Amino acid sequence: MPRVRVEFYGLARLRAGAAGAAVEAATVRDALRAACPGLAVVRDGRVAPEYLLSVGGGRFTADPDEPLADGDSLLVLGADAGG
Amino acid sequence: MRNEAEDLAPIPHSAFRTPHSPPFGYHGQYLRIDVTTGDVRAVPLPEDVLRQYVGGVGLAARLLHRECPPGVDPLAPDNPLAFVFSPLVGTPLTTSAKFAVAAKSPLTGRFNDALSSSHFALSGKKTGSDALVIVGRAAAPSILLIDDGAVRLEPAGHLWGRTTPDATAGLRDRHGPDWSFAVIGPAGERLVRFATISHDNRHAGRGGLGAVLGSKNLKAVGVRGTRRTPVADPAGVVAAARDLSARSFGPAAAKYRELGTVANLLTFNRLNALPTRNFQAGQFEGAEAVSGEALSDAARVARRSCAACTIGCEHIYRVGDRGEGLGDRTEPPATNGLYPNPSPLSPTVRLEYESLFALGPLCGISDRGVILRAARLCDDLGMDTISAGATAAFAMECSERGLLEDTGPPPEETPPPNPLPYEGRGDQTGRPGASPPPPPGGGGRGEGSLPHFGDGDALLSLLGMIGRREGPGDLLADGTRRAAAAIGGGAADFAPHVKGLELPGYEPRALQAMALGFAVGTRGADHNRSGAYEVDFSPDADRRHGDAESARRAVETEDRAALIDSLILCKFLRGVFPDLWAESADLLAKVTGWDVTADELRATARRVIDAKKRFNIREGWTPAEDTLPRRFLGERLPDGSAPGAVLPEDRLRAMIRAYNRARGWTEDGWVGSEETPPPTPSPTRGPVGEPGA
Ligand code: SF4
């Protein structure tokens, strides 16, 4: 099972009460379930509109089933990052 | 209707009744006030013009075409300053208590609009006009008062020279709480080209509109009124307002409510998109210390909101006492630095991400206490925090490169002989690999006399000097474009501006749709009129490799912003609209009774953006100014914890061509002539929109 780092920013960090967590997960959905089950980042099968997800910071994803590789970082960010 | 400027007689109520019946939500006219001659007149606004431009920024664009003489010096009496309301102002719709301020910018020489909020919008519209257009120059420092049907000037007296909170308090003492005031600080009086107009601790911030008000010898504009505008469907508006308020309590606005925009800082830092040390890097080693989260823990004391807002994004922080987790500074609280009456800074400050990045990482500052003091100092003096921070950061880089030693005479004025005379204390960040020391010798001033990134004392000192136009502050008060031209030696390559307006807190190489938005922005580098960062943060775009599709989608974000800014609603509400166009049409229909559709509003947004562009073309725009400083096109962003990025010039140019095509303009960005709001030679000829007007 890939070992990944889930990092929280903004509202996600405030609500998770932590900056991040190391988990073992094969997909984005699994990583979120393991790192922050109470956060409801994925709702009704989709990424909730108030969150953005990025793998490694370069690429954003809206696919909860996106596979993760060993060493990946999954970033949970607030949507509307501007302002 | 012509009166003496010192005591403008009340205008008869009949003067406000226009020959046409105004549509619901409008008064159907604007008030044109000449503070030189005392001439005051109500100018009709026909319904078709109101429907075409709605209000706020849109109507402001129309009015400037009419009122602003082509080629006018932005600080000359003839440059009109317009305060513009909207049909939604005064309704119970959440976040609708907003107004636009517009003029030709003294910083850019181009169209400039800025939005602000709260009771000034409500009271201003109740004076009986959809806009207040001020021209001329008062004979002495004055306060302009618009009280229902009466317009008068009174001497500014001892309020001239006072900070924005002091002046506001003095005006409230003098006139009572039912007045609302838009004021300038000492920076506006001294024509600092990025001076703000302040109201209720909010600011029409960008582009130097405070200097335009100062150039008219006006310390403040006060408004009071009783004239309400009926809406077409009162029950429908109330129901819509309830629904919108309920949605504003939901997750879409939670970020603004719970942490505020300062939450962006760590996000941008992680994405290598946080402008650091004058855009030399995209990550800041002191980011955790100055993060929104750290600030909240250490110094947040309250949360507030604008009038008529159910979100409440204003997070208020305590300004710098020692021993309160605000850093390790040991001196007493800073003062406003004014002479002859320095007084302590106001004890709290509202802080947004833009102020935080500009006065923090952009200047290499990792001391929260310094950032809060600097933000308060800017607010008290009445200066745009983005431009002020960017100008200070630019000066720091010039200093570290030794360029300030080589300052040649600027085109029209002589720079001060000792550009940055302050008592610096060196780098306070403790960061590894700090910026290089100043060049040996330092021109006889010694190493401690030049500002460095990370030097909090240098930052506070520079801000004070800029606000007072004192010493080197006189040159820097003209913004980075003019300062770079005066300094020479390649400084223009890293002066962080577009069209003269300093960049906000988005690293363009890491966010390349936003880079395009900056380059083509009609008011310069601008994150409020272009939301292209939304493209960068979407799953189907490569934020480090912008392309034609990014450009097409950037156009969409601009159009949405133009609509929101014309309605006017707060952009922090935008996430609650599943379909902004359709819902906006529905809201506007309920207020005005118009059978307006989503498609009509799309056309309105395009018309507004075209009008702003046409204004710029009229004022001398050429395709060459739609670009970024050389730094962004020639230097690779250093890697941090995220990979660096590069933005080749030909890529930016290709995006600009795609953007122009998507707008229906020529590839170079010239706009066709149809539907051109014509410039008006005589501003008093007749109603706006009359043939030949
Ligand atoms: S969300 Fe913030 S800026 Fe917008 S209206 Fe409310 S308090 Fe004002």
Mean pLDDT, range B373-388, rounded to an integer = 96
State pLDDT tens for residues B169-203: 999 999 999 999 999 999 999 999 999 999 988 99
For residue A79, give the nearest of B258, B542, B575 by CB distance. B575
Tokens standing for B390?
């960017």
pLDDT for res B669: 97
- Quick one: pLDDT band at residue B12, thresholds 50, 70, 90? very low
Mean pLDDT, range B448-461, rounded to an integer = 85
Tokens standing for A67?
């596979």
- Give the lowest-confidence range in B64-73, B341-350, B368-377, B413-422: B413-422
Q: What is the share, in percent, of chain B residues with pLDDT greater than 90? A: 77
Letter for the amino acid at B272? Answer: N
Tokens standing for B691?
């043939």
Is B521:B530 a contact under the CB 8 Å cutoff? yes
Residue to substitute from B264, B303, B356, interface A, most A β-carbons within 10 A = B264
CA B142 – ligand 1 centroid, Å:
30
State pLDDT tens for residues A23-68: 999 999 999 999 998 888 999 899 998 899 999 998 899 999 999 9
More confident residue, B254 or B480: B480
B311 lines ligand 1 (CB under 6 A): yes
B370 lines ligand 1 (CB under 6 A): no
CA B100 – ligand 1 centroid, Å:
15
Mean pLDDT, range B556-564, rounded to an integer = 97
Mean pLDDT, range B546-551, rounded to an integer = 96
Choosing from B122, B200, B255, B305 the residue with most ligand 1 atoms within 8 A of its CB, the one to mutate for a pocket test is B305
Rounded to whole angstroms, the Cα distance separating B365 from B424 reads 14
DSSP string, B445-484: T-GGGS--TT-HHHHHHHHHHHHHT-TTHHHHTTHHHHHH
Residues 6+ apart with CB under 8 A from B274: B265, B268, B282, B283, B284, B287, B357, B361, B505, B507
* Nearest-CA distance A26 → chain B (Å): 19
* In the predicted structure, residue B253 carries a pLDDT above the cut 50: yes
State pLDDT tens for residues B632-654: 998 899 987 667 799 999 999 99
CB contacts under 8 A, B 414-443 vs A, are none
B381 lines ligand 1 (CB under 6 A): no
Strand-pairing partners, residue B182, are B221
3-state secondary structure labels for all residues of B602-639:
HHHHHHHHHHHHHHHHHCCCCHHHCCCCHHHHHCCCCC
* In the predicted structure, residue B684 carries a pLDDT above the cut 50: no
More confident residue, A79 or B401: B401
pLDDT for res A49: 85
* In the predicted structure, residue B440 carries a pLDDT above the cut 80: no
Q: Which atom of ligand 1 is nearest to the CA of B117?
A: 8
Mean pLDDT, range B304-323, rounded to an integer = 83
* Nearest-CA distance B646 → chain A (Å): 13
B572 lines ligand 1 (CB under 6 A): yes
In the numeric block, the tokens 């890529």 are attached to B651
Residue whose Cα lies nearest atom 2 of ligand 1: it is B313
Letter for the amino acid at B622? Answer: T
| B2 DSSP 8-state letter | B
Choosing from B93, B96, B98, B117 the residue with most ligand 1 atoms within 8 A of its CB, the one to mutate for a pocket test is B117
More confident residue, B168 or B687: B168
Domains and CATH numbers, chain A: 3-78 (3.10.20.30)
Nearest chain A residue to B543 by CA distance is A58
Rounded to whole angstroms, the Cα distance separating B265 from B501 reads 21
B192 lines ligand 1 (CB under 6 A): no
| A60–B538 CB contact, under 8 Å | yes
Rounded to whole angstroms, the Cα distance separating B198 from B169 reads 12
3-state secondary structure labels for all residues of B559-597:
HHHHHHHHHCCCHHHHHHCCCHHHHHHHHHHHHHCCCCC
Is B248:B233 a contact under the CB 8 Å cutoff? no
CA A75 – ligand 1 centroid, Å:
27
What strand order describes the sheet that includes B218-224? Answer: B150-155, B142-147, B218-224, B180-183, B197-199, B202-204
State pLDDT tens for residues A1-23: 999 999 999 989 988 999 999 99
pLDDT for res B640: 74
Contacts of B258 in chain A (CB under 8 A): 11, 14
State pLDDT tens for residues B511-546: 999 999 999 999 999 999 999 999 999 998 999 999
Tokens standing for B88?
């939604």
Residue A46 phi/psi, 5-degree rounding, is -130, 160
Is B416:B455 a contact under the CB 8 Å cutoff? no
Rounded to whole angstroms, the Cα distance separating B674 from B679 reads 14
pLDDT for res B276: 98
Rounded to whole angstroms, the Cα distance separating A57 from A74 reads 8
Residue to substitute from A9, A43, A54, interface B, most B β-carbons within 10 A = A9
**Mean of pLDDT over chain B:** 87
CA A30 – ligand 1 centroid, Å:
36
Letter for the amino acid at B398? Answer: C
* In the predicted structure, residue B499 carries a pLDDT above the cut 60: yes
Mean pLDDT, range B64-68, rounded to an integer = 97
pLDDT for res B255: 87
Query: What size, in residues, is chain A?
Result: 83
Mean pLDDT, range B395-400, rounded to an integer = 96
- Tell how far CA B192 is from the center of its chain: 14
* In the predicted structure, residue B689 carries a pLDDT above the cut 80: no
* Nearest-CA distance B538 → chain A (Å): 6
- Quick one: pLDDT band at residue B673, thresholds 50, 70, 90? low
Mean pLDDT, range B466-482, rounded to an integer = 96
CA B557 – ligand 1 centroid, Å:
20
Rounded to whole angstroms, the Cα distance separating B89 from B66 reads 23
Q: Helix or strand or coil: residue B278? A: coil
Angle at B219 between CA B214 and CA B225, to 5 degrees: 120
For residue A14, give the nearest of B259, B267, B571 by CB distance. B259
Strand-pairing partners, residue A22, are A5
In the numeric block, the tokens 């039912």 are attached to B178
* In the predicted structure, residue B581 carries a pLDDT above the cut 60: yes
Rounded to whole angstroms, the Cα distance separating B265 from B96 reads 28
Rounded to whole angstroms, the Cα distance separating B491 from B475 reads 14
Of B244, B265, B348, give the one whose Cα is nearest residue B304: B348
CA B536 – ligand 1 centroid, Å:
24
State pLDDT tens for residues B619-632: 999 999 999 999 99
CA B573 – ligand 1 centroid, Å:
8
CB pairs under 8 A between A and B: 88
Rounded to whole angstroms, the Cα distance separating B2 from A70 reads 78
Angle at B572 between CA B177 and CA B242, to 5 degrees: 70
Tokens standing for B367?
């001391």
- Quick one: pLDDT band at residue B285, thresholds 50, 70, 90? very high
| B270–A75 CB contact, under 8 Å | yes
Tokens standing for B201?
């601790």
Q: What number is the ipTM of this complex?
A: 0.96
| A10–B292 CB contact, under 8 Å | yes
B355 lies within 8 A of chain A by CB? no
